[in-house]
Amino acid sequence: MSEGLLVRADGLGKAFTRNGRTRWACRDVRFDLWQGEVLAVVGESGSGKSTLLKLLAARLPCDEGAVHYDVRDTGTGEGGLSDLAALSEARLRWLARTDWGFVEQQAREGLRMNVSAGANIGERLMALGARHYGRLRGEALHWMERVELDTERVDDLPGTYSGGMQQRLQIARNLVTQPRLVFMDEPTTGLDVSVQARLLDLLRELVADLHLSAIIVTHDLAVARLLAHRMLVMKDGQVVEQGLTDRVLDDPQHPYTQLLVSSVLTP
């Protein structure tokens, strides 16, 4: 295995059939993601970004190709770069609860709205067997501080939080198990511009401090510019261009990327 290689997407494809017609939502997607690297997936609505993210996080099975992930050996002898399709359900659940995070666009889809903020953060630790109340509460307070939430609100329900605060809580809930890879689906979309900017700053800081790898779906090139080392541009389910973020945005090669970039620059 190549040192530090975390994810290898090897010709991924997914087709959906609707009204008797089969259409590829994404096809022939290939890239490598290295430890500590942030990859942005950009493209217009319907280009296949969310479908690709679901394939990578094993939320959907691939119809073509394979996702390989560097599974940590937890003493079972299973480890190293592994085809997700060959892993057991239990192993995939374990990855989803520990080594991966998934930040949904709508925070309420990634939170449990009927339990307190503190319980939301502690839940993943409890799933791993943590039971000590003092430790769970300590971790909840620590992670609330880390994402700049008022720790006095640890017992409040997420529904009493603002949209931006809910998103911070969702991030804390994901990071508590110290995942190596976080998937994010439009993490700042739908928030006020100033809230977005502060959240992006926080994400950038967390990614660097925790040496996280992340795959971020966004239609916003500014998000890619701020957070991602590399980016992948999708159109009609295909990757039309990929490379270092600055190179792609400053010197786009594909006509579609040129159009995307110029539509942001032109008022």
Ligand X SMILES: Nc1ncnc2c1ncn2[C@@H]1O[C@H](COP(=O)(O)OP(=O)(O)OP(=O)(O)O)[C@@H](O)[C@H]1O
The site string for ligand X over 2-21 (x = CB under 6 A, - otherwise) reads --------------x-x---
- Count, residues in the chain: 267
Residues 24-53 that bind ligand X (CB under 6 A): 25, 43, 45-51
| H helix runs in the chain, sequence order | 49-56, 89-94, 107-110, 117-127, 133-146, 163-175, 193-209, 221-227, 245-250, 255-265
Nearer to ligand X, 24 or 34 (CB): 24
Q: Which residue has the tokens 């993601």?
A: 33
Count of positions on this chain that bind ligand X (CB under 6 A): 12
CA distance 137 to 159: 20
Min CB(216)–ligand X separation in Å: 12
Question: For 174, what's the count of Cα atoms within 13 Å in the CB-facing half-sphere?
Answer: 29
Q: Which of residues 210-229 bind ligand X (CB under 6 A)?
A: 219
The H or E element that residue 231 is part of is strand 230-235
Nearest Cα neighbor of 94 from 104, 116, 111, 79 is: 79
- Give whichever of 141 and 261 is closer to ligand X, judged by the CB atom: 261
Contact (CB, 8 A) for 231 and 40? yes
Does 242 participate in binding ligand X (rule CB under 6 A)?
no
Residues 142-161 that bind ligand X (CB under 6 A): none
Which is closer to ligand X, CB of 120 or CB of 196? 196
Q: Nearest approach, Cβ of 42 to ligand X (angstroms)?
A: 9
What is the closest distance, in whole angstroms, from the C-beta atom of residue 187 to ligand X in the complex?
13
Q: What is the DSSP string of 81-92?
A: EEEGGGS-HHHH
88 binds ligand X (CB under 6 A): no
198 binds ligand X (CB under 6 A): no
Shortest separation between residue 227's beta carbon and ligand X, angstroms: 17
CA distance 110 to 170: 6
Rule CB under 6 A: say whether 168 interacts with ligand X.
no
- Minimum gap (Å) between residue 48 Cβ and ligand X: 4
Least distance (Å) between residue 97 CB and ligand X: 24
> Which spans of this chain sit near ligand X (rule: CB under 6 A)?
16, 18, 25, 43, 45-51, 219
